[in-house]
């Protein structure tokens, strides 16, 4: 993974998130081909500045490649070649920009930013510390439940049966039991409030 330090990597996560939001909104106003091409160039320059390999960059937009192709094809008939290219490229730029932020920012920093952003919401009952706890518990829970899921799938295979209900019931019960265990472990660590 290319997370090497660059000016972009070092930029505060909050600034990058704000730039992404502003960029996404601003892009809606751009409706000329030279405009979106310029935006695309700007984003490409960002990838270059962050020293992200073209392969990794492509991975960011690949999931929407098909959509863009279909969109482009369909729109040519309806609105003409150039406007269709604008609509399709806009999606590419958006996704690429979002990918650039994701690639140059550590998950932990983004989480911390989300928590800080939640501080003003304390008035409406959001507790940033609790939010941070829930996010951590979720991250920690994934490998544990993935393990439960694997064991249940093994048990199904060993019994020569596979169906969604006999998968989902034990895995969900496993999740509920884990929730109980976590809640007790929190209490044992003095976090029962």
In the region spanning residues 22 to 41, those forming contacts with another protein, defined by CB under 8 A, are 24
What are the strands, taking DSSP E only, across the chain?
none
User: Rounded to 5 degrees, what angle do the CA atoms 101, 47, 12 make?
Assistant: 35
Looking at residue 125, the DSSP 8-state letter turns out to be: T
Q: Does 76 bind another protein (CB under 8 A)?
A: no
Q: Which residue has the tokens 């929190």?
A: 186
Binding segment toward another protein, per CB under 8 A, in 4-12, 31-39, 46-54, 147-155? 147-155
- The closest of 65, 89, 84 to 73, measured between CA atoms, is 84
Q: Does 158 bind another protein (CB under 8 A)?
A: yes
Q: Does 184 bind another protein (CB under 8 A)?
A: yes
Binding segment toward another protein, per CB under 8 A, in 4-12, 38-46, 48-56, 167-175? 167-175
Give residue 160's region: left, alpha or beta (phi > 0; psi -120 to 50): left
Selected from 51, 116, 122, 130, the binder of another protein by CB under 8 A is 130
**Nearest to another protein of 17, 37 (CB atom):** 17
Q: Which residue has the tokens 């809606």?
A: 28
Binding segment toward another protein, per CB under 8 A, in 4-12, 32-40, 41-49, 170-178? 170-178
Q: Does 102 bind another protein (CB under 8 A)?
A: yes
Q: Which residue has the tokens 């969109």?
A: 71
């Amino acid at each position: 993974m290319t997370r090497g330090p660059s000016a972009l990597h070092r930029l505060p996560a909050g600034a990058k998130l704000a730039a992404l939001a502003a960029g996404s909104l601003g892009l809606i106003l751009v409706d000329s081909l030279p405009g979106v091409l310029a935006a695309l160039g700007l984003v490409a320059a960002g990838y270059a500045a962050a020293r992200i390999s073209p392969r990794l960059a492509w991975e960011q937009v690949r999931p929407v490649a098909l959509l863009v192709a279909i969109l482009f094809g369909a729109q040519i008939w309806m609105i003409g070649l150039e406007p269709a290219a604008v609509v399709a490229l806009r999606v590419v730029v958006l996704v690429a920009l979002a990918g650039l932020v994701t690639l140059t920012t550590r998950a932990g920093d983004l989480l911390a930013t989300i928590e800080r952003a939640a501080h003003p919401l304390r008035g409406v009952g959001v507790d940033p510390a609790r939010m941070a706890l829930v996010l951590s518990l979720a991250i920690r829970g994934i490998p544990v439940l993935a393990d439960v899921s694997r064991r249940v799938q093994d048990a199904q295979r060993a019994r020569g049966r596979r169906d969604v209900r006999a998968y989902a019931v034990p895995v969900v019960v496993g999740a509920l039991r884990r929730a109980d265990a976590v809640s007790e472990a929190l209490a044992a660590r003095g976090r029962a409030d």
